[in-house]
Amino acid sequence: MRSILEKQKEIPVIATPDVLVVGSGPAGIAASIASARTGAKTMLIERYGFIGGNLTTSMVNPIFTFHDINGRQIIKGIAEELILRMREQGSSPGHVTDLTFDNASMTPFDPEGCKVILFNMMEEAKVQLLLHTLVVNTQVEKGRILSVIIENKSGRQAICPRYVIDCSGDADVAVQAGAEYVCGKKEDGSMQPATLYFRIGGVNNAELRSWMKKNSHLLKGNPTEEEIDNQKAIAFLGMNHLVNDAIQSGDLDKEIAPRILMYELPHGEFSINCTRLQNINGSNADDLTKAEIRLRKQVIQVYHFIKKMIGGFENSYVVDTGIQVGIRETRHIVGDHILTEEEVLNGTSFIDGIACGTFAIDIHPPHGKEQIFTGSGKAVYEIPYRCMLPVGFHNLIVAGRSISATHTAAGSIRVMATCMAIGQAAGTSAAILSQKNCSTREIDIPLLRKTLLNQGQYLLNEPISEEIDERLILKRVDGNGEMGGHYNPFSIKKIK
């Protein structure tokens, strides 16, 4: 490939925070609030004009998952605070039963309401925000990041922080700094597919519920009339055969997920998670371009399918689409510990555990059609602090979906409640470190865990009161085959 030499130039240093957080997704928002609240001068950089990452940009909904299948709440802290605030303002019904993926709870929310609440939370915590700004490079000396280079409408500038938390989802900062990473699956580099979310408005809820009752055989788990009536927010999964027929007849793109999956949001819209494209590397601009074009076409196809086939959608319309395609997986840093599938499924706790997760391992196999779930929320596992530390760096922490985990383990930790819990731990760690100015590996782990507990977070093997929400205890785990390959080793029935 032809190349040119870019001319060196002097650029201004515009900030010297204690902690710089890059990326404002679930991990970044929790990291920056936690860091600022723990006393560090904190700055948050985001490339878009609002914050929230997949919560708001790709419009991923609902948030999974705060509870294990026994109704025990295993993620609290800043993530729970966000939900409470959204509830208060009518932007979320709170945690409701999940009838789609055999998790105890799911948490639908309104992305527009979420955007404002997140800005308020940043302001209250006194996090310095810089929006419309892309992090493009780093300067590193002996494993220390000296500066982070940014680009925006004001030009090219530098920030010299003491600690950096990379919450870009793609581990951009770590990679720019030269950290080791694995893209997707270690064996062949394949990654989970991309999906463009969209929302449908104008749905007649009563007619939809009545259609669901008449056609419950088309839905996962064949829900009873009572279960459909009791759904505070409709969670709709099924119609696999009909979607497959439409794919065969050419009405739907052959790569579309072979089922209809949609969730009711607080103001009556439905969030649709159906489009899908394989072989997209979300850290490659050509691939992203291809995905934006093809998935937008899929949106229209799926919308027409839903309108034609499902009752209650006759007068509906597409409200909006995510402002970018949703990327499930790209780079995983190689950290001091690599979280594995066994550790997730066995509910492993760690001496340096800093956050809990319980979501099933949710993989849309890169070379397959079906979505495969393993686990289903019985095993509550911890994520060790070491998974956030890229090998060889002393002032860099990585939080969110790109922490050090195998492709399979990442299939569980990637959900948004878990990413918020990891982010909270990352921000708290960086603030504690900045009090002593020491290397990330010199952190006082018992102090970190105690601080997280004092913040209201949940950790395993600690004397904390366990809150059980009786309403969320999963009464039925059946994975009746509607979900391709659903295997739940902890369920009453085992489905191969």
Ligand X SMILES: Cc1cc2nc3c(=O)[nH]c(=O)nc-3n(C[C@H](O)[C@H](O)[C@H](O)COP(=O)(O)OP(=O)(O)OC[C@H]3O[C@@H](n4cnc5c(N)ncnc54)[C@H](O)[C@@H]3O)c2cc1C
Site for ligand X in 172-191 (CB under 6 A): 172
Task: Please tell me whether residue 28 binds ligand X under the rule CB under 6 A.
Answer: yes
Judged by CB under 6 A, the residue of 167, 345, 398, 443 near ligand X is: 167
Site for ligand X in 129-148 (CB under 6 A): 134-135
| CA gap 88, 60 in Å, rounded | 21
Strands (E), 23-107: 42-45, 96-97, 105-106
* Part of the chain binding ligand X (CB under 6 A), chosen from 162-170, 178-186, 306-314, 481-489: 162-170
* Part of the chain binding ligand X (CB under 6 A), chosen from 12-20, 36-44, 61-69, 428-436: 61-69
Judged by CB under 6 A, the residue of 400, 411, 427, 479 near ligand X is: 400
CB of 401: closest distance to ligand X in angstroms? 4
Contact 265, 108 (CB under 8 A): yes
Is the backbone of residue 326 left (phi > 0), alpha (psi -120 to 50) or beta? Answer: beta
Instruction: Indicate the Cα dihedral angle 265, 270, 273, 274, nearest 10°.
Output: 170
Contact 64, 106 (CB under 8 A): yes
CB of 256: closest distance to ligand X in angstroms? 13
Per-residue contact flags (x/-) with ligand X for residues 414 to 433, judged by CB under 6 A: xxx--x--------------
Site for ligand X in 29-48 (CB under 6 A): 45-48
CB of 355: closest distance to ligand X in angstroms? 13
By C-alpha distance, which of 161, 183, 191, 154 is closest to 31? 161
* Part of the chain binding ligand X (CB under 6 A), chosen from 4-12, 26-34, 440-448, 488-496: 26-34
CB of 371: closest distance to ligand X in angstroms? 10
Q: Whose Cβ is closer to ligand X: residue 54's or residue 348's?
A: 54
On the CB side of 468, CA atoms within 13 Å amount to 5
Task: Please tell me whether residue 259 binds ligand X under the rule CB under 6 A.
Answer: no
DSSP secondary-structure letter at 379?
-
Task: Please tell me whether residue 127 binds ligand X under the rule CB under 6 A.
Answer: no
Task: Please tell me whether residue 168 binds ligand X under the rule CB under 6 A.
Answer: yes
CB of 60: closest distance to ligand X in angstroms? 4
Is the backbone of residue 249 left (phi > 0), alpha (psi -120 to 50) or beta? Answer: alpha
Q: Please tell me the count of residues contacting ligand X according to CB under 6 A.
A: 37
Edge-to-edge order in the sheet of strand 317-321: 235-238, 260-264, 270-272, 198-201, 317-321
CB of 490: closest distance to ligand X in angstroms? 20
Owner of token pair 């969209």: 198
| CA gap 415, 359 in Å, rounded | 7
* Part of the chain binding ligand X (CB under 6 A), chosen from 141-149, 240-248, 409-417, 469-477: 409-417
Contact 185, 191 (CB under 8 A): yes
The contact set with ligand X (CB under 6 A) reads 22-28, 45-48, 53-54, 57-58, 60, 62-64, 134-135, 167-170, 172, 195, 273, 326-328, 400-401, 414-416, 419
